């Protein structure tokens, strides 16, 4: 059953965000300091070819530590999400830049151990509580 605008507003009011299948990184200049580990990589006041605007969702949920991402080396077990305890099965992310181009960021270009450890040297955004969304 599709979510209604009321459902979405309740989620935003309760969690401070709403869940979707993409991560949207616009207006990083308005975000709290420290919310993104590398805000210089994300879209600010203008669309630029060297700044990310969106990526596929790849996140870790604070409640159980499970990772959710859409491009894994295994098929989804249920529904559209793939949830794992680590990001080891992550195959990569589609990244949309300010100039409109989409680039596939392969898992080979990622440090999965640093992602799992939430190392601030990699790109991630802190969400609700201890959630993180990688880019």
DSSP three-state, residue 60: strand
Residue 67: inside a domain: yes
Number of domains in the chain: 1
Residue 13: inside a domain: no
**The predicted structure's pLDDT at residue 78:** 42
Residue 1: inside a domain: no
- pLDDT tens profile 28-71: 998 889 899 999 999 999 999 999 999 988 888 776 677 777 78
Contact between 89 and 110 (Cβ < 8 Å): no
Residue 9: inside a domain: no
Residue 2: inside a domain: no
Domain that holds residue 109: 22-134
Residue 7: inside a domain: no
Q: How far is CA 19 from the centre of its chain?
A: 10
Residue 41: inside a domain: yes
Q: Tokens 């939430």 map to which residue?
A: 118
* pTM, full prediction: 0.76
Residue 11: inside a domain: no
């Amino acid at each position: 059953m599709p979510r209604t605008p009321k459902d979405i507003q309740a989620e935003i009011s309760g969690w401070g965000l709403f869940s979707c299948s993409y991560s949207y990184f616009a207006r990083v200049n308005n975000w709290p300091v420290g919310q993104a580990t590398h805000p210089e990589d994300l879209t600010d006041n203008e669309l630029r070819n060297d700044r990310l605007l969106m990526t596929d969702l790849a996140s870790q949920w604070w409640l159980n530590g499970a990772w959710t991402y859409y491009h894994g080396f295994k098929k989804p077990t249920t529904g559209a999400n793939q949830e794992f305890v680590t990001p080891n099965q992550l195959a990569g992310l589609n990244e949309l830049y300010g100039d409109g181009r989409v680039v596939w960021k392969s898992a080979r270009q990622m440090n999965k151990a640093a992602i799992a450890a939430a190392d601030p040297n990699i790109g991630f955004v802190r969400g609700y509580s201890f959630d993180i969304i990688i880019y």
